[in-house]
Chains A and B, each alone.
Chain A
Amino acid sequence: MTQTFDTTPGTRAEQEVAPARAMRTVRRRIPAGVVASGAFIALLLVAVAAPGLFTNYDPLAGDFLSILKAPDAAHPFGTDRLGRDVFARTVYGARYSLFIGIGATLISVVFGVLLGILAGQKSRLLDETNSRLFDIVSSFPTVLLAMLVVTFLGQGMFNIAVAVGLSGIPKFGRVVRAQTQLVRNADYVTHAHIYGRGHIEIFFRHLLPNVLVAVPVTATVFIGSAILAVSGLSFLGLGPQPPTPEWGVMLAESRDTLRVAWWPGVFPGVAITLTVIAFTVFGNYLQDVFEGRDNS
């Protein structure tokens, strides 16, 4: 007499060939959404590196004989009001969106890590000044902050990256501050003191590497929201100016013709949406992987 309480699935794994099974143990079943996101990011990177692979059209050259043409075989995304190929513009636009998004993230990471580590030190004064600084910056809406920056520094791709990067500093600063405090009080740091390692040595050998562990994952997720913010600001005219094929700019330009032609606006919009989703999904997946590894 035997009764079983079984919750595990069958033995399909045993029928697989050895290498496939080995692959599965190394990287457990990756969700389809993550695979798709990874593939899309890879595609974006190729578009950034070599947009010529995707299209033969010049994103800036208008053809006045084919204005506002609906999508067809020659122009898969159609053409805009100046007769420019929307597909070419969308492909070339990846370069701007990614550059500015990643640039903004880099600015956030560098300053966030620096200020966060300082805030995580023993000094109450450093912690208070930096933490309140984070509070102040994050109390401004991104758009308002960007307008301020653009007002002072002028328009342009670099300045828009600075504006978005500035608004992301508190995000990284707070994560790094918490991580610094955690690592600073970890047993292994105490032990390094016991073994007679100096403060600077401990900082570079133990503190910094273990603090930075938290950064890549947060950064990947942040790239997505940075791209969104950049597009939004460009749409408002605070970023790169027409005729730059930036997605936000394309959206803004499409507004005037939206009643007669949906394609100049929808395709860059879809590009923005997919990019943001891809980075967010991929970043969250990385987070799960890293946290899972820490627990094992």
Chain B
Amino acid sequence: MSKAAISISIPQPLVDIEGLTVHFGHADGGRPVVEDVSLIIHPGECVALVGESGSGKSVTARTLLNLAGNGARITARRFRLAGEDAMRFDAARWRRVRGREIGLVMQDALVSLDPLRSIAQEVGEVVTNAGLLRGRREIEERVIDTLARVGIPDPEIRSRQYAHELSGGLRQRALIAAAIAAGPRLVIADEPTTALDATVQKQVIDVLSRRVRDEGVGLLLISHDLAVVAEIADRVHVMRAGKVVESGPTAEVLSRPRHVYTRQLIAAVPSATSRGTRLSSARVDFEAASGSGDEDGQPQPIRIIRDPLPPRPVVSGEVVLDVASIGKRYRRRKGVGGGRETFVALDDVSFTVSTGEVVGLVGESGSGKSTCAKIILGLLKPDTGTVRLLGKPWSDIRESERRALRSKLQYIPQDPLSSFDPRYRVSDIVAENVWGLSRKQTLEHIVWLLDQVGLDSGFLDRYPRTMSGGQRQRVAIARALAAEPALIVCDEPVSALDISIQAQVIDLIGELQSRLRTALLFISHDLGLIHHVADSVLVMKDGRIVERGPVDDVFFHAAHDYTRTLLAAVPGPFAAS
């Protein structure tokens, strides 16, 4: 992966933009969504746009296809695509650009692929539209060849399947295939790996970087994931509020960021080194970083200083949750019209969580994490084994008997918005979990709880749908705390949030956990995050726990092959080992 060789000698860049500004809405009112952005992409080069939601990175990329959206006003000092002045393009010319000259890979493969059309039809359409090939056989061959190029096994069979029949990784690769089928010289990938598991993410990154390296395709990668960017991008532009705040070769920007925002962004990524500190307080120790390391061209690693979190509570021997060899099987249909087969979702899973302990649960989708969480939450009955909560029976008693203990076990979901009744205001939502207080006391208690999670009383009457993702998650945390629980199950609580918001929410959870000594079962696919928050970790695969132990032991000296695969799949400089 040598990214140093940028071919400056090539005269014709694929993209050459200077001073791009995009406005939405009324003529001169409102701030531009993209302001004065300059971008150059050469063949065989991968350029990344990094930034948080609303930073304008997607709009910038879509402008290259003239798909910025309704009412977009685009101005630029220079806007050239492959040497041609794109400002003069008419609608017909833009249609030729899309697909044939620039391919777009979107984030959500399931939504981006038509459920009623086979993969071959989807990919074939791009070829047909580009008008490159006419004959049915030729198009078919091209499709299968393209599917093979993006590493889809058995392309003949896969091409006849539909989007829902493919796994997430294959779907994303099919989407890449559609983007490159007409042989565009530039591919735009908008968050191509965001929804994917670590190992699948690695496969997709490999496919994309091979296009760049082997075929000389230009790649514009849009991502908020610095690890992915570090893995394949040659140059990176960091965007914030519509402006590029910093740009340069990836290694240089990531290891010696100059702009405050970039430093914050990099330092806010949770990892082994950030344990016990406040992520959101992080800043780069620039003095130390700039000292040496320039001479041999090897950028030295960034040094980050962070404020410490309150000391972690001592894990006592008092067991809050005792999961004893639980198992769960499902009977499911084998394809259309096929017979039924038994699917083992959980197999002999045992672990305990003690007061003040944070236990991480990692594994890919389908590994049984969610089934395990459902059984612990008492929403699902295990086929075998038992769960005990605070030493009392839990999984094998009736729901009405469980109700008394319910308040001791709380839950923070991945998507808080869907867990709120759409008619409820913040105060109603939190009040739902406050028991046995008068109206006035309840209100006071809610104000106190909101204060604990960093929201002022002005939020009481707000509807969550008008709030940001981070604020919503704070409300969910306040609601969980309202019951004064002994254990909170956190299911991917920050995976939908931007890095800096994620850092704040993780800090909040960490701080409250230290203070209240609440036990946490922390489910995540982000190994760095688990390493940051957890005391011990359980690695799950195919419904079994394949490895367990203190986080440092497991992540630094992984014994099981699967754990090593997971760790190896963590890209870039943020890998745990």
Determine if A3 and B74 form an interchain contact, defined as CB atoms under 8 angstroms apart.
Answer: yes
User: Closest residue of chain A to B22, judged by CB?
Assistant: A5
Name the distance in Å between A18's Cβ and chain B's nearest Cβ. 15
Task: Digitize B52-93: 1 where CB-to-A-CB distance is under 8 Å, 0 elsewhere.
Answer: 000000000000001010111111110000000001000000
User: Of B118-126, B149-157, B242-250, B419-427, which binds chain A?
Assistant: B419-427
Q: Which residues of B contact A205 (CB under 8 A)?
A: 421, 432
Asked if A210 CB lies within 8 Å of chain B CBs, one says yes
Determine if A188 and B26 form an interchain contact, defined as CB atoms under 8 angstroms apart.
Answer: no
Q: Given A188-B418, A296-B465, is A194 in contact with B411 using a C-beta cutoff of 8 Å? A: yes
Q: Given A187-B415, A187-B418, A210-B421, is A5 in contact with B73 using a C-beta cutoff of 8 Å? A: yes
Name the distance in Å between B57's Cβ and chain A's nearest Cβ. 20
- In-complex Cβ contact of A6 among B73, B406, B419 (8 A): B73
Query: Could you tell me the distance between the alpha carbons of A222 and B415 in the complex, rounded to whole angstroms?
Result: 37
Q: Which residues of B contact A193 (CB under 8 A)?
A: 379, 399
Determine if A196 and B75 form an interchain contact, defined as CB atoms under 8 angstroms apart.
Answer: no
Asked if A123 CB lies within 8 Å of chain B CBs, one says no
Asked if B27 CB lies within 8 Å of chain A CBs, one says yes
Q: Which residues, 1 to 60 on A, are CB-close (under 8 Å) to B?
A: 1-8, 10-11, 13-14
Q: Given A6-B71, A188-B420, A210-B421, is A194 in contact with B26 using a C-beta cutoff of 8 Å? A: no
Query: Could you tell me the distance between the alpha carbons of A206 and B25 in the complex, rounded to whole angstroms?
Result: 38
Query: Could you tell me the distance between the alpha carbons of A294 and B419 in the complex, rounded to whole angstroms?
Result: 15
Determine if A196 and B407 form an interchain contact, defined as CB atoms under 8 angstroms apart.
Answer: yes
Determine if B422 and A210 form an interchain contact, defined as CB atoms under 8 angstroms apart.
Answer: yes
Query: Could you tell me the distance between the alpha carbons of A25 and B114 in the complex, rounded to whole angstroms?
Result: 36
Most central of A4, A191, A296 by chain B CB within 10 Å: A191
**Interface SS of A by simple majority:** loop
Name the distance in Å between A199's Cβ and chain B's nearest Cβ. 9
Q: Given A4-B74, A5-B72, A195-B433, is A187 in contact with B419 using a C-beta cutoff of 8 Å? A: yes
Determine if B66 and A195 form an interchain contact, defined as CB atoms under 8 angstroms apart.
Answer: no
Q: Which residues, 452 to 481 on B, are CB-close (under 8 Å) to A?
A: 465
Determine if B432 and A187 form an interchain contact, defined as CB atoms under 8 angstroms apart.
Answer: no
Q: Which residues of A contact B227 (CB under 8 A)?
A: none
Query: Could you tell me the distance between the alpha carbons of A296 and B411 in the complex, rounded to whole angstroms?
Result: 26
Determine if B75 and A3 form an interchain contact, defined as CB atoms under 8 angstroms apart.
Answer: yes
Task: Digitize B325-357: 1 where CB-to-A-CB distance is under 8 Å, 0 elsewhere.
Answer: 000000000000000000000000000000000
Determine if A7 and B418 form an interchain contact, defined as CB atoms under 8 angstroms apart.
Answer: no
Determine if A188 and B403 form an interchain contact, defined as CB atoms under 8 angstroms apart.
Answer: no
Q: Which residues of B contact A137 (CB under 8 A)?
A: none
- In-complex Cβ contact of B410 among A4, A6, A10, A194 (8 A): A194
Q: Which residues of A contact B70 (CB under 8 A)?
A: 7
User: Closest residue of chain B to A294, judged by CB?
Assistant: B422
**Interface SS of B by simple majority:** loop
Q: Which residues, 404 to 454 on B, are CB-close (under 8 Å) to A?
A: 404, 406-407, 409-411, 413, 415, 418-423, 432-433
Query: Could you tell me the distance between the alpha carbons of A193 and B87 in the complex, rounded to whole angstroms?
Result: 57
Asked if B305 CB lies within 8 Å of chain A CBs, one says no
Asked if B509 CB lies within 8 Å of chain A CBs, one says no
Asked if B200 CB lies within 8 Å of chain A CBs, one says no
User: Closest residue of chain A to B407, judged by CB?
Assistant: A196
- How many B residues, CB 8 Å from partner? 40
Q: Which residues of A contact B400 (CB under 8 A)?
A: 198
Q: Which residues of B contact A192 (CB under 8 A)?
A: 432
Query: Could you tell me the distance between the alpha carbons of A210 and B71 in the complex, rounded to whole angstroms?
Result: 35
Q: Given A194-B377, A206-B421, is A5 in contact with B66 using a C-beta cutoff of 8 Å? A: yes
Q: Which residues, 180 to 227 on A, are CB-close (under 8 Å) to B?
A: 186-188, 190-198, 205-206, 209-210, 213
Determine if B406 and A196 form an interchain contact, defined as CB atoms under 8 angstroms apart.
Answer: yes
Name the distance in Å between A241's Cβ and chain B's nearest Cβ. 46
Query: Could you tell me the distance between the alpha carbons of A84 and B537 in the complex, rounded to whole angstroms?
Result: 89
- In-complex Cβ contact of B419 among A2, A5, A188, A197 (8 A): A188
Asked if B110 CB lies within 8 Å of chain A CBs, one says no
User: Closest residue of chain B to A13, judged by CB?
Assistant: B26
Query: Could you tell me the distance between the alpha carbons of A54 and B251 in the complex, rounded to whole angstroms?
Result: 83
Q: Given A4-B75, A5-B73, is A191 in contact with B413 using a C-beta cutoff of 8 Å? A: yes
Determine if B415 and A190 form an interchain contact, defined as CB atoms under 8 angstroms apart.
Answer: no
Name the distance in Å between B429's Cβ and chain A's nearest Cβ. 9
User: Closest residue of chain B to A183, judged by CB?
Assistant: B421
Q: Which residues of A contact B40 (CB under 8 A)?
A: none
Q: Which residues of A contact B420 (CB under 8 A)?
A: 188
Query: Could you tell me the distance between the alpha carbons of A8 and B483 in the complex, rounded to whole angstroms?
Result: 50
Name the distance in Å between B324's Cβ and chain A's nearest Cβ. 21
Q: Which residues of B contact A2 (CB under 8 A)?
A: 75-76
Q: Given A187-B418, A210-B422, is A196 in contact with B403 using a C-beta cutoff of 8 Å? A: yes
Q: Which residues, 144 to 195 on A, are CB-close (under 8 Å) to B?
A: 186-188, 190-195
Query: Could you tell me the distance between the alpha carbons of A3 and B79 in the complex, rounded to whole angstroms?
Result: 10
Q: Which residues of B contact A197 (CB under 8 A)?
A: 432
Q: Which residues of A contact B399 (CB under 8 A)?
A: 193
Name the distance in Å between B472's Cβ and chain A's nearest Cβ. 13
Q: Which residues of A contact B411 (CB under 8 A)?
A: 191, 194
Q: Given A186-B418, A187-B413, A210-B421, is A194 in contact with B75 using a C-beta cutoff of 8 Å? A: no
Q: Which residues of A contact B433 (CB under 8 A)?
A: 195
Q: Which residues of A contact B27 (CB under 8 A)?
A: 10-11
Most central of B26, B72, B76, B422 by chain A CB within 10 Å: B422
Most central of A5, A186, A193 by chain B CB within 10 Å: A5
Determine if A194 and B406 form an interchain contact, defined as CB atoms under 8 angstroms apart.
Answer: yes
User: Closest residue of chain A to B27, judged by CB?
Assistant: A11
Name the distance in Å between A152's Cβ and chain B's nearest Cβ. 42
- In-complex Cβ contact of B71 among A7, A188, A194 (8 A): A7
Query: Could you tell me the distance between the alpha carbons of A134 and B415 in the complex, rounded to whole angstroms?
Result: 36
- In-complex Cβ contact of B25 among A8, A187, A196 (8 A): A8
User: Closest residue of chain B to A9, judged by CB?
Assistant: B26
Query: Could you tell me the distance between the alpha carbons of A203 and B404 in the complex, rounded to whole angstroms?
Result: 19
Q: Which residues of A contact B71 (CB under 8 A)?
A: 6-8
Query: Could you tell me the distance between the alpha carbons of A5 and B74 in the complex, rounded to whole angstroms?
Result: 6
Q: Which residues of A contact B73 (CB under 8 A)?
A: 4-6
Q: Which residues of A contact B377 (CB under 8 A)?
A: 194
Query: Could you tell me the distance between the alpha carbons of A193 and B409 in the complex, rounded to whole angstroms?
Result: 12
Query: Could you tell me the distance between the alpha carbons of A205 and B413 in the complex, rounded to whole angstroms?
Result: 21
Query: Could you tell me the distance between the alpha carbons of A13 and B411 in the complex, rounded to whole angstroms?
Result: 47
Q: Which residues of B contact A194 (CB under 8 A)?
A: 377-379, 406, 409-411
Determine if B423 and A210 form an interchain contact, defined as CB atoms under 8 angstroms apart.
Answer: yes
Query: Could you tell me the distance between the alpha carbons of A13 and B25 in the complex, rounded to whole angstroms?
Result: 12
Name the distance in Å between A257's Cβ and chain B's nearest Cβ. 55
User: Closest residue of chain A to B429, judged by CB?
Assistant: A188
Determine if B419 and A191 form an interchain contact, defined as CB atoms under 8 angstroms apart.
Answer: yes
User: Closest residue of chain B to A209, judged by CB?
Assistant: B423
User: Closest residue of chain A to B74, judged by CB?
Assistant: A5
Name the distance in Å between B134's Cβ and chain A's nearest Cβ. 33
Q: Which residues, 274 to 296 on A, are CB-close (under 8 Å) to B?
A: 294, 296
Q: Given A196-B403, A206-B421, is A190 in contact with B72 using a C-beta cutoff of 8 Å? A: no
Listed by A's residue number, 24 A-B pairs whose Cβ atoms lie within 8 Å are: A4-B75, A5-B73, A8-B26, A8-B71, A10-B27, A11-B27, A11-B29, A186-B418, A188-B419, A190-B379, A190-B419, A191-B411, A191-B413, A191-B419, A192-B432, A193-B379, A195-B432, A195-B433, A196-B407, A197-B432, A205-B432, A210-B422, A210-B423, A294-B422
By a beta-carbon cutoff of 8 Å, the part of chain A in contact with chain B is 1-8, 10-11, 13-14, 186-188, 190-198, 205-206, 209-210, 213, 294, 296
Give the top 10 A-B pairs by smallest Cβ distance, nearest first.
A196-B406, A187-B418, A8-B71, A187-B419, A3-B87, A196-B403, A188-B421, A191-B419, A2-B75, A4-B73
Q: List 14 additional contacts besides A3-B75, A6-B73, A210-B422; criterion CB under 8 Å.
A: A4-B74, A4-B75, A7-B70, A14-B26, A187-B418, A187-B419, A188-B419, A191-B419, A193-B399, A194-B410, A194-B411, A195-B483, A198-B400, A210-B423
